[in-house]
Amino acid sequence: MAINAVLFDFSGTLFRLEQQDGWLDDVRDDDGEVLDVEAQTELMRRMTAPVEQSVELDEEHLYAWHNRDRDPELHRKVYLEVLRLSGVPRRDQAEALYAQLVAPDQWTPYPDTEAALKAVASSGRKAGVLSNIAFDIRPAFGQRGWDAHVAEFTLSFEVGAVKPEPEIFQNAIERLGVRAEETLMVGDSEEADGGARALGCRFALVDPLPTAQRPDALLGVLREHGVL
């Protein structure tokens, strides 16, 4: 069956949170030492990991972790704890870093994001964004004019379901007005995004590499699946 709609994940697929100059310059660990490059890299990984739990959490914060993308307050609570346990003991610094995490204008698009969204929309197909996320990412698209190419945004904290639960995929498909069999899901997580296959969607995996290292993976996927 021909593909008539493409659903794109957000983090690690269309955009990536990448460290900007100055973000971690003054962050110090429990010993008062500035974080070295390795520690900074690991901290960024923990802030953006789509599925895996990167630190040991108590029962209260473990509940928040499992429900973080359904509730903005739980998201904030658990990520501040993750930062604390990852070597950012000062609350003010953790809050400053968290503010960067949830600021759409701090996220960097992949080089072919605009072209991929435009290609889907201009072909007469529908493009949607489906994300496990606890904040509104529409401004990241709107400030660039790319929202014109996106038919629907399905965000977990707004619909009360998270990938790989079938409900969130069903919600996205219904919003686009298509059948699962004619929908391609593109994402960076086999576990989360790959859940679309349970409904009959096709699935394409992309590697959440730094944006400079992944110039055209989205366009490549669209070609492979006959969208381009």
Domains along the chain with CATH numbers: 5-16+108-225 (3.40.50.1000), 21-102 (no CATH)
In sequence order, what are the residues at sequence separation of 6 or more whose Cβ sits closer than 8 angstroms to the Cβ of residue 136?
A: 104, 155
DSSP for 122-139 reads HTT-EEEEEE--SS--HH
What's the pLDDT at 83?
85
Nearest to 116 by CA among 222, 21, 43: 222
Residue 27, both tokens: 């962050």
56, two tokens: 């040991």
Handedness of CA 25, 28, 29, 33 (dihedral sign): positive
Residue 146, CA distances (Å) to 29, 89, 141 in order: 39, 38, 5
What is the pLDDT, as a whole number, of residue 48?
62
pLDDT, tens digit only, all 228 positions of the chain: 799 999 999 999 999 988 666 565 566 666 666 656 666 666 666 666 655 666 788 999 999 999 999 999 999 999 899 888 887 878 888 888 888 889 998 899 999 999 999 999 999 999 999 999 999 999 999 999 999 999 999 999 999 999 999 999 999 999 999 999 999 999 999 999 999 999 999 999 999 999 999 999 999 999 999 999
